[in-house]
């Protein structure tokens, strides 16, 4: 038996098309009775949290023209916490033995095959709102488009909508998936050409992959990986349960109360701006209400006054709003200054800043522990896809991989567990004083307590080996360029001494010098370039090479031309348009 279960409460689905899309394209999920019993409460929780995040905080609508205030602190807290945790990205490392190959492969998959920053933020958003993150790793085969452009194969990292995921866990191991079903509805075109709704279902096990459209099997194939390529990450773990908790579930009631009180305050203000006017003993048919209006000719006993009230409770309402907001910050472990509250500029040190943000750092540590383990499992499935689909990438390639050091593998073994082992590292979220950090690292390196590679990692460099290789290459290039410059300077000095018999003194004055015999038979300062005898010119061991002779001749000619040659002024063509 099956039926349609609408997990979005009607009050939250009022005029909320974006909400129904976030739950399902139609806002409906078709489940069997057993699935409804297992997953119904979870989907209801997802629906409520998505409603709060998307700003649907009210269960009713006021009359048109009546103000209905919604301060969406729920979304502000979640977005801030996600940016605080994932804003600087995640760095991946591997054991030393595989460090020449694995990091570059992961960089290609995350940065080239996928948009790393977007995928991480999407995972964080889904986890913070629903409490459960499901990520599927799939291989997209190479293909050629309609204009014969070739597209290489990709390893795709796909965060899934948690409301579409129906996992079956091992009864004694809540971290192990036995069966995974993804089910959702979508619009499509039927064979008759009409638009209709289809239900897509994908069932994954360790052995087989099956796909259904409207309960009709359309494809069945063996699972080439041997494992279910889906990773489940509980956002906040709950002991004894496979499901996680949302980050801001505890402030839903407070945020609603804040909006209700804020709406009451707005009503008080609006009432005082346009109060009710009471007329006693006169008719209001000929009285025009408004600014700069004068009423005259009223009866002797007539009274006209405005109703007043509610203003006395305004101060208490504002204090209650401040209390509610402070409570929300405390429950979310986010300081009030984090959301832009004005505070004096100070040179607070990183340690003092960490103490001030200690509650937020505790929340950050909890999230990085959960998501770090999940990202390492995702990388494991990524490497498994490459082992099956692109085994050539497991061979060291000097053009794509990092520098190969002693003790590092030049070929990965698909059967070795170390091939699939990686480490996820989250950079320090709080700002650091780079000068203080550099001085500390320099002191450690001076004492022999830190290496250049470790210092680069402390500064946030994801690939320190490649950075060190880049620095070495630049030093070699600089040394070669400096040597070439010195060679030209020496040749110029020698040519000047040959032509003039003088050399430049320390103060720039010309100092005569005695002719000096060089080892190649040349007499320095005799005004003749090279040895003067035909025998020495013919002897290659006693003379400079033809290339050196040509270089010296070119330098001599340039020096004579620059020193004594006539230089005509360049004539510039006048541009009448400018």
Each residue's pLDDT expressed in tens, for the chain with a length of 578 residues: 333 333 334 334 333 334 333 444 334 455 666 677 778 888 888 988 998 999 888 887 888 878 888 899 999 999 999 999 999 899 998 998 998 899 999 999 999 999 999 999 999 999 999 999 999 999 999 989 889 899 999 999 999 999 889 999 998 888 889 999 998 888 888 888 888 888 899 999 999 999 999 889 999 999 999 999 999 999 999 988 899 999 999 999 999 999 999 998 888 887 766 666 777 777 766 666 666 677 776 777 777 776 666 666 678 888 999 999 999 999 999 988 877 665 555 566 666 767 778 888 889 999 999 999 999 999 999 999 999 999 999 999 888 887 788 888 999 999 999 999 999 999 888 776 677 777 887 888 888 888 888 888 777 776 777 777 788 888 888 887 887 788 777 777 777 777 766 666 666 666 666 666 555 556 555 555 555 555 444 444 445 566 666 766 776 677 667 665 655 555 555 555 65
Q: What is the model's pLDDT at position 277? A: 74
Q: Residue 253 belongs to what H/E stretch?
A: helix 252-273
CA distance 161 to 184: 9
> Locate tokens 């200690």: which residue?
358
State the pTM of this model. 0.72
Supply 452's token pair. Answer: 């250049």
Contact 160, 136 (CB under 8 A): yes
Measured over the CA atoms of residue 5, residue 10, residue 15 and residue 19, the dihedral's sign is negative
CA distance 114 to 240: 34
Contact 321, 262 (CB under 8 A): yes
CA distance 103 to 365: 24
CA distance 254 to 68: 16
Q: What is the model's pLDDT at position 531? A: 54
Alpha-carbon distances of 506 from 492, 503, 510, 563, rounded to whole Å? 17, 10, 9, 21
CA distance 379 to 344: 44
Pairing of strands 2-5, 195-204: unpaired
Contact 408, 98 (CB under 8 A): yes
What are 220-228's contacts with CB under 8 Å, separation 24+?
224/388, 225/381, 225/384, 225/385, 225/388, 227/381, 227/384, 228/177, 228/179, 228/180, 228/204
Counting Cβ atoms within 10 Å, is residue 92 exposed (0-12), middle (13-18) or buried (19+)?
Answer: buried
Q: Return the number of other C-beta atoms located less than 10 Å from residue 1's C-beta.
A: 5
Contact 86, 121 (CB under 8 A): yes
Q: Return the number of other C-beta atoms located less than 10 Å from residue 516's C-beta.
A: 11
């Amino acid at each position: 038996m099956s039926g349609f279960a609408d997990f979005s409460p009607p009050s939250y689905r009022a005029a909320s098309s974006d909400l129904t899309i976030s739950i399902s394209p139609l806002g409906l999920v078709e489940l069997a009775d057993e699935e409804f019993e297992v997953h119904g409460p979870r989907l209801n929780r997802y629906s409520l949290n998505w409603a709060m995040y998307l700003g649907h905080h009210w269960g009713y609508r006021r009359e048109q023209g009546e103000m209905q205030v919604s301060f969406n602190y729920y979304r502000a807290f979640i977005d801030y916490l996600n940016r605080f945790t994932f804003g600087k990205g995640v760095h991946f490392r591997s054991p030393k033995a595989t460090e020449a190959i694995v990091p570059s492969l992961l960089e290609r998959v995350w940065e080239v095959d996928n948009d790393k920053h977007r995928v991480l933020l999407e995972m964080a958003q889904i986890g913070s709102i629903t409490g459960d993150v499901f990520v599927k790793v799939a291989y997209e085969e190479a293909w050629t488009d309609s204009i014969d452009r070739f597209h290489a194969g990709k390893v795709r990292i796909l965060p899934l909508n948690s409301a579409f995921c129906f996992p079956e866990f091992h009864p004694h191991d809540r971290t192990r998936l036995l069966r995974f079903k993804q089910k959702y509805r979508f619009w499509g075109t039927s064979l008759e050409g009409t638009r209709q709704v289809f239900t897509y279902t994908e069932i994954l096990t360790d052995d087989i992959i099956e796909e259904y459209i409207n309960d009709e099997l359309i494809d069945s194939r063996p699972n080439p990986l041997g494992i279910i390529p889906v990773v489940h990450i509980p956002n906040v773990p709950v002991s004894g349960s496979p499901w996680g908790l949302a980050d801001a579930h505890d402030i839903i009631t407070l945020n609603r109360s804040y909006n209700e009180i804020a709406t009451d305050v707005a009503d008080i203000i609006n009432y005082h701006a346009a109060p009710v006017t009471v007329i006693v003993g006169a008719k209001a048919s000929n009285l025009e209400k408004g600014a700069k209006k004068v009423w005259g000719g009223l009866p002797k006993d007539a009274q006209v006054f405005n109703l007043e009230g509610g203003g006395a409770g305004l101060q208490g309402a504002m204090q209650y709003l401040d209390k509610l907001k402070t409570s929300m910050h405390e429950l979310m472990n986010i300081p009030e200054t984090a959301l832009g509250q004005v505070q004096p500029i100070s040179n607070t040190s990183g340690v003092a800043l960490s103490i001030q943000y200690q509650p937020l750092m505790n929340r950050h540590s909890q999230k990085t522990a959960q998501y770090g383990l999940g990202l390492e499992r995702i990388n494991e499935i990524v490497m498994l896809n490459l082992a099956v689909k692109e085994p050539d990438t497991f061979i060291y390639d000097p053009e794509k991989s990092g520098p190969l050091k002693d003790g590092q593998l030049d070929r990965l073994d698909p059967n070795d567990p170390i091939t699939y082992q990686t480490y996820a590292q989250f950079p320090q979220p709080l700002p650091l004083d780079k000068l203080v950090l550099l001085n500390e690292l320099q002191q450690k390196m001076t004492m022999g307590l830190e290496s250049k590679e470790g210092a680069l990692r402390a500064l946030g460099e994801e690939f320190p080996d490649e950075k060190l290789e880049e620095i070495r290459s630049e030093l070699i290039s600089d040394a070669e360029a400096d040597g070439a410059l010195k060679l030209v300077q020496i040749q110029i000095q020698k040519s000047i001494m040959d032509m003039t018999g003088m050399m430049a003194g320390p103060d720039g004055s010309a100092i005569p010098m005695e002719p000096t015999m060089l080892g190649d038979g040349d007499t320095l300062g005799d005004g003749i370039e090279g040895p003067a005898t035909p025998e020495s010119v013919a002897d290659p061991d006693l003379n400079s090479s033809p290339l050196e002779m040509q270089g010296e001749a070119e330098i001599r000619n340039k020096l004579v031309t620059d020193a004594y040659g006539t230089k005509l002024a360049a004539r510039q063509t006048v541009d009448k348009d400018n």
